[in-house]
Structure 1
Amino acid sequence: MKFRNFKLVGHVIFGRGAFAQIDEIIAPHRKGDAPMIFFVDHFFEGNQPWLAKIPLQGKDKIVFIDVTHEPKTTVVDALRDQLKAEFGEVSGIIGVGGGSTMDMAKAVALMMTNPGSSADYQGWDLVQQRGVYKVGVPTLSGTGAEVSRTCVLTGPTRKLGMNSDFTTFDQIVLDPEMIKNAPVNQRFYTAMDCYIHCIESLEGTFLNAFSRSYGEKALQLCQEIFLEKDNWDDDADEKLMMASYAGGMSIAYSQVGVAHAVSYGLSYLLGTKHGVGNCIVFDKLEEYYPAGVKEFKEMVKKHNIDIPQGICKDLTDEQFNKMIDVSLGMAPLWENALGKDWQSIMTREKLRALYEQL
């Protein structure tokens, strides 16, 4: 048997206020006057007290990342071209934000050293060159983007990650203070990404002791936060940040499943945000994850969250077929969920019926 040899994040710092050390963390990685580029979620644009925490030096620059839509290969390529035209070389890219911002940071860091378009690298182990130094600083927790070996991008023909050993961050800064003021709905949707991929990992056919140990802990933390707690507090921030980390680790040696595979189609066609899309889909997956869906509905009710309904009701046959094509292209996810004969189980007709429920 041949075992998969995973590349994990190089360095991790955790603690309330840890972001204050970012300057000393990145200092050894500066290359002459080549700048550090901070990709910051556009949510923070204009928030000068918050932005003042970023330790700019020399030619360093803040680039605000518009996360209204999921990361696109065209935007990645444009940012790469912009940075090369302006600076020639950069010392590194620091992604400060949610999963989309961190994915953009990973993707652009890779494209600074790899030729062509980022769309050329959508797939598994296609990236050939190490990118520039890259750091992830989550301001939302749940996606696991801070520890994953992928950066998910919407390209010309599909939504698929740049999955490679070169994609993982060299450093992550886990500071619970950074996520404390996240909007309630956004925090829930992003946290449920963690909850859902734990369910998918723990009930998948790829499950082993490595993924189970991380997945069970992440699931426990989500349950403590969203079922046992009545009020959000500092303890919840810390638990959610570690749930995201452990949840991301749980799929390093496993995979996600039905909800993620279906939501990729929604994101590609409708631009549905990843966390919201997962919630929309998971809400209808009693057939595949009965216990998890029941518990999820309890969390939704307890926290007064609205899950969008009827988003596919006016779609054409052509649009349904495009979503189905994108979703069925996620073969590893379907195999993890349904086994090696998944294609005989999840037919186009059955997937169409599922999309029609959303």
Structure 2
Amino acid sequence: MKQDKEIPLKEAAKITKGPYRNFPMVPRVVFGPGSFDQLGEILGPHRSSPDAPVIFLVDDVFTNSALIERIPVQFNDRTILISADKEPKTGQVDALVSQIKEDFKELPSAVVGIGGGTLLDLAKAVAIMLNNEGSSAKYQGWDLVHNPAVYHVGIPTISGTGAEVSRTTVLLGPEKKLGINSDFTPFDQVVLDPDLLQGVPKEQWFYTGMDCYIHCIESLNGTYLNAFSQSYGEKALELCEEVFLSDISASESRDKLMMASWHGGMSIAYSQVGVAHAMSYGLSYLLGTRHGIGNCLVFQHLGEFYPEGVAMFKKMMKKHDIQLPKGICEHLTDEQYNTMIKVSLGMVPLWENALGKDWAKYITPEKLKSIYQKI
């Protein structure tokens, strides 16, 4: 194995002056306990006709739950229960779009995602593909979508991914794991109801919350850092520290984590994530590792990149008695390692944010393999 070059200290922000990206944001958001019950009122003005249904994509963990009964179904609306056990795929999006177009004469009035990052990403992708031709796989990348999405609403039931506010929908495709990053991706409306976070299993709560925490560390330590990203990232990090390191009430924790997720997602609008996300994409693509735990599995070994962030992460793990799985990559073949490495190295903006434009001088396949072997 050839010797890795020493990774240089990151320099100050490198965003050049103009032209600046005119990024879209979620135009409408309602926050507060019980705000889910305003959904019917929110959707009303957007119903174009009784034959243009609202499609509710809901995490199947809510099957036979009280939440299902609260969904404001009217006319020929449809509720589709979807498992979030696996990362969302382009084929899954294409199948949902095909089913909806076949079953209804008119395009839906709205698509509503209710769940965690998987369901929110599926809702964004389905809303886009109902108005764009071909497979969703051909839109994986930056600014490849040309037609506006169907009106779409995001309702998170777990906090951390930032999917409720981001301009991307991350999908596993036949050749890569990559988001549909476009101005048409963000939700038209988000409903932030902290009461919906009750009952989330502890480990899932932690892993998804750490997605937000790692967003912050990577954004605040990146070469793309600027005052816009910094202001949101610092607030999100402060909230994460309160949630995961201090002793606050359950209701306050839900409120603060929901807002940490929102601010964390906003922090990367003008910035990017970094090493952990780039490498976790390789894990997800090859092994189907869920995004939150994938980030944690990688981040624990990134002390040379984010020393203070990793130290605090391990402190949070200890406080909440979280034991990460071991031996995930123990029996992988060289070909499998190479697949993960290829996917990871393809995340150029993430590496550039982490280490600057010359990142490829320091991040070699051997370097990545040595980290994957520790997982």
Q: TM-score range by the shorter chain?
A: over 0.9
State yes or no: 1:117 paired with 2:135: yes
- Please, which runs of 5 or more residues in structure 1 have no aligned partner? none
Distance 2:256 2:328 in 1: 32
Q: Which amino acid aligns with 2:55?
A: I
How far 1:180 moved relative to its partner?
A: 1.8
Distance 1:194 1:174 in 2: 16
- Aligned partner of 1:261 in structure 2 is 278
Q: Which amino acid aligns with 1:207?
A: L
- Give the aligned CA root-mean-square deviation in angstroms: 0.8
SS at match of 1:52: helix
What TM-score results when the alignment is normalised by the length of structure 1?
Answer: 0.98
- Aligned partner of 1:202 in structure 2 is 220
Distance 1:134 1:170 in 2: 6
Distance 1:291 1:298 in 2: 11
Distance 1:163 1:65 in 2: 23
How far 1:66 moved relative to its partner?
A: 1.3
SS at match of 1:96: strand
- Aligned partner of 2:11 in structure 1 is none
State yes or no: 1:214 paired with 2:268: no
How far 1:232 moved relative to its partner?
A: 5.0
- Please, which runs of 5 or more residues in structure 2 have no aligned partner? 1-17
Distance 2:351 2:81 in 1: 35
Distance 1:188 1:87 in 2: 40
SS at match of 2:120: helix
Give 4+ residue runs of structure 1 displaced > 2 Å after superposition: none
Aligned-residue sequence identity (percent) comes to 61
Q: Which amino acid aligns with 1:138?
A: P
Distance 2:45 2:132 in 1: 23
How far 1:85 moved relative to its partner?
A: 0.4
State yes or no: 1:73 paired with 2:90: yes
SS at match of 2:180: strand
C-alpha distance after superposition, 1:242-277 (max 9, x if no partner): 000000000001000000000000000000000000
Q: Which amino acid aligns with 1:18?
A: S
SS at match of 1:225: helix
Distance 1:321 1:42 in 2: 35
Counterpart selection for 1:95 from 113, 122, 135: 113
Distance 2:286 2:263 in 1: 30
C-alpha distance after superposition, 1:283-314 (max 9, x if no partner): 11101000000000010010011211210010
Counterpart selection for 2:145 from 124, 127, 138: 127
- Aligned partner of 2:268 in structure 1 is 251
- Aligned partner of 1:85 in structure 2 is 102
- Aligned partner of 1:283 in structure 2 is 300
Q: Which amino acid aligns with 2:161?
A: T
C-alpha distance after superposition, 1:109-167 (max 9, x if no partner): 10101000000000000011001110000000000000000000000000000000000
State yes or no: 1:146 paired with 2:161: no
Distance 2:154 2:242 in 1: 26
State yes or no: 1:316 paired with 2:333: yes
- Aligned partner of 1:237 in structure 2 is 254
- Aligned partner of 1:164 in structure 2 is 182
SS at match of 1:156: coil
